[in-house]
């Protein structure tokens, strides 16, 4: 089913006291392993910034160039290269030990510092009167991968510049996987360029990831390794309370999930040979979480009654005293 509506489609609503309080609209596309659209809502041609949802695309040159194997990167490190992590202790340790193994340090990163979203690590820093460093940045895994590739190609230190040889490699892989010439780029939160594409283009790439066998050409093998590494190590991709980590655990590592800023979310389903992309136009994460959950249920990959699914789909809203105040649910007629 491919809709003809070119406008964002109403997907998620919040109700309080029996009245509609707000709603979220967006676009969604499901592609097969060839990149063909199986189902779509809203406008498949809407141009978006994938933000962090495309980190597995940004990591393709790391694997295809031979850089990952040259330094013996593990599956866990490949998963971490695609992460938007919470800055938990295990994430900080992974980033620091990775760079130490390359003969580098935190100073070589160009992602910047921010407070970790993990409360345990945040509180530890406060008690120790320490400031967060770049290892706490949710993109430090991606940047560790960038530094590995940059060392391999002997590139200059400013690897986040859009015309740096490393980013030229990333753009080429991105455009080949999406099947589209990127119409432009913007600077992401971690200072790396983020290349725009259509919702269909991103879904086309995810569909191709879903069909990777690990026995084809270099692109196929890289897609296979990165997708399965993420599914195998969900705790490294995000964090213990995140949508990505919880839902990947709920599906027993059979599906890869990755969210990005401004409510972009992708899913790779190898057993079904399907790739999913969701974009909520107002940037509301609660809506993208609900929609990606609903589509996983629709495809039979996720049990609707699983606690992690119920937490995000048709979820009862409660106030600070535990009283039910309303519900966040799919809009009528969406699915």
pLDDT digits (tens, 9 = 90+) for 257-285: 999 999 999 999 999 999 999 999 999 99
Phi, psi of 257 (to 5 degrees): -125, 150
Beta bridge partners of 187: 193
Mean pLDDT of 183-191: 98
Beta bridge partners of 13: 23, 329
Phi, psi of 7 (to 5 degrees): -95, 160
Tell me what pLDDT residue 38 has: 98
Mean pLDDT of 65-79: 98
Round to whole Å and give the CA distance between 308 and 4: 33
Here the tokens at position 31 are: 């592609």
pLDDT digits (tens, 9 = 90+) for 237-247: 999 999 999 99
Whether the pLDDT of residue 5 is over 70: the answer is: no
Mean pLDDT of 167-194: 98
Whether the pLDDT of residue 3 is over 60: the answer is: no
Q: What residue ranges define each of the domains in the chain, with the CATH number in brackets?
A: 9-330 (3.40.710)
Tell me what pLDDT residue 91 has: 98
pLDDT-derived band at 6 (thresholds 50, 70, 90) equals: confident
Mean pLDDT of the chain: 97
Here the tokens at position 311 are: 């937490």
Beta bridge partners of 260: 264
- pTM for this one? 0.96
Whether the pLDDT of residue 229 is over 60: the answer is: yes
Here the tokens at position 10 are: 């109403």
pLDDT > 90 fraction of the chain, expressed in percent and rounded? 98
Tell me what pLDDT residue 214 has: 97
User: Going by DSSP bridges, is the β-strand pair 264-269/197-198 parallel, antiparallel, or unpaired?
Assistant: unpaired
pLDDT-derived band at 293 (thresholds 50, 70, 90) equals: very high
């Amino acid at each position: 089913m491919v809709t003809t509506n070119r406008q964002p489609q109403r997907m998620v609503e919040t109700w309080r006291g029996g009245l509609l309080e707000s709603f979220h609209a967006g676009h969604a596309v499901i592609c097969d392993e060839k990149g063909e659209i199986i189902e779509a809502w809203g406008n498949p041609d809407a141009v978006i910034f994938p933000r962090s949802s495309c980190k597995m695309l940004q990591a393709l040159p790391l694997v295809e160039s031979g850089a990952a194997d040259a330094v013996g990167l593990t599956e866990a490190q490949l998963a971490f290269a695609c992460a938007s992590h919470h800055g938990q202790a295990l994430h900080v340790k992974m980033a620091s030990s990775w760079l130490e193994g390359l003969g580098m340090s935190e100073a070589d990163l160009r992602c910047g510092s921010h407070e970790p979203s993990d409360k345990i690590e945040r509180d530890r820093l406060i008690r120790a009167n320490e400031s967060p460093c770049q290892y706490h940045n949710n993109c430090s895994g991606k940047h560790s991968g960038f530094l590995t590739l940059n060392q391999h190609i002997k590139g200059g230190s400013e690897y986040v510049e859009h015309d740096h040889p490393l980013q030229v490699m990333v753009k080429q892989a991105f455009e080949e996987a999406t099947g589209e010439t990127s119409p432009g780029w913007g600077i992401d939160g971690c200072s790396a360029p983020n290349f725009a594409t259509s919702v269909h283009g991103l879904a086309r790439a995810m569909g191709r990831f879903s069909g990777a066998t690990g026995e084809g050409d270099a692109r196929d093998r890289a897609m296979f390794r990165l997708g399965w590494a993420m599914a195998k190590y969900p705790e490294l991709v995000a964090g213990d309370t995140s949508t990505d980590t919880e839902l990947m655990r709920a599906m027993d590592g059979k599906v890869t999930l990755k969210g990005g800023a401004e409510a972009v979310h992708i899913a790779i389903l190898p057993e079904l040979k399907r790739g999913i992309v969701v974009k909520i136009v107002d940037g509301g994460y609660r809506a993208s979480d609900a929609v990606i959950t609903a589509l996983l249920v629709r495809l039979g990959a996720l049990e609707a009654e699983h606690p992690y699914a119920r937490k995000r789909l048709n979820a009862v809203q409660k106030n600070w005293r535990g009283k039910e105040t309303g519900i966040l649910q799919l809009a009528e007629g969406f699915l």
